[in-house]
Amino acid sequence: METTRTPEAAFEDVPDYDYPVSYVDVGPAEMAYVDVGEGEETFLCLHGEPTWGFLYRKLIPTLSERGRVVVPDALGFGRSEKFTREEDYSFALHYEAFETFLEELDLENITLVCQDWGGILGLTLAANHPERFARIVAMNTDIPRGDQRMSDEWEAFRDFTERVDELPIGMLIQNATATELSDEVVAAYEAPFPDEASKAGARAWPDMVPRYGGGDGGEMTSAARERLGEWEKPAFVLFSDSDPITGKARDPLRELIPTATEQPDIWIEGAMHFLQEDAGEEIAEEIVAFVDRT
């Protein structure tokens, strides 16, 4: 399994994300993460496709006033090591890497803040390790059964990522964001991916979503979904109002987790799939309020 690591020089001009970076060996490779703030609360922020920890930069200032904020880059993304072949990635690889990450940092009393693939993996982690998690904040994500049919918009996205010769990371993020991104922000999202080999993880994730007729990890997500149906700790489902990719998953997810309907029925207005980019400060305030009331 050949790996590559994006040179640190590629991140020199990344705006508003100049936090110290740490690394931990999670088995097959090293995972990078940002760890700021302190206190009894621990916010674990998990990104999705095809972003990296930079996505949470607007939330970190507010969350770090309330507690410790840990933002890892999934293997294949950000500053973490990257496998150069799509076939080297699997649901098990990502899941076990994050499981090891929790163990190595011995994270406890976690408020999970997750979106997109960060939710598929993070909700599975929380379901399997409830002793480490105090709360869940699920945003624009799902815990798929593995037998559901995907939306036309998602199918078009997956098809696009498979057929293009060069995966346009910045374009994908801009197209799923209501905010007009600056050139500096687009460059920051593209910074981890200097060549096509480094994008193997970003190419692998879309087709890996457990679903009818395809994907990977469906047995694990389906079992985790059953456990979440018995979740007793606080949960807050916080979706944007303009996401064609995951929007329809919002109400079923809110109904699945028993405690979710105990929280306010809130939509983040004027935001698309990457709601952290469109309304990061607002979301951070909602999360802190959720922690305070629970």
Using CA atoms, how far apart are residues 84 and 86, in angstroms rounded to an integer? 7
Read off the DSSP letter of residue 151.
Answer: P
Strands 235-237 and 239-240: unpaired
Q: Look up 73 and say whether it is catalytic.
A: no
The catalytic position among 35, 73, 88, 116 is 116
HSE-CB of 140 using CA atoms within 13 angstroms: 27
Q: Look up 106 and say whether it is catalytic.
A: no
Using CA atoms, how far apart are residues 117 and 122, in angstroms rounded to an integer? 8
Q: How far is CA 111 from the centre of its chain?
A: 14
The catalytic position among 35, 73, 88, 243 is 243
HSE-CB of 241 using CA atoms within 13 angstroms: 7
The catalytic position among 35, 88, 216, 273 is 273
Q: Look up 165 and say whether it is catalytic.
A: no
Alpha helices in the chain (DSSP H): 60-66, 91-105, 117-128, 152-163, 169-175, 183-190, 200-208, 218-228, 250-256, 275-293
Q: How many residues does the chain have?
A: 294
- Hey, which residues are catalytic here? 116, 243, 273
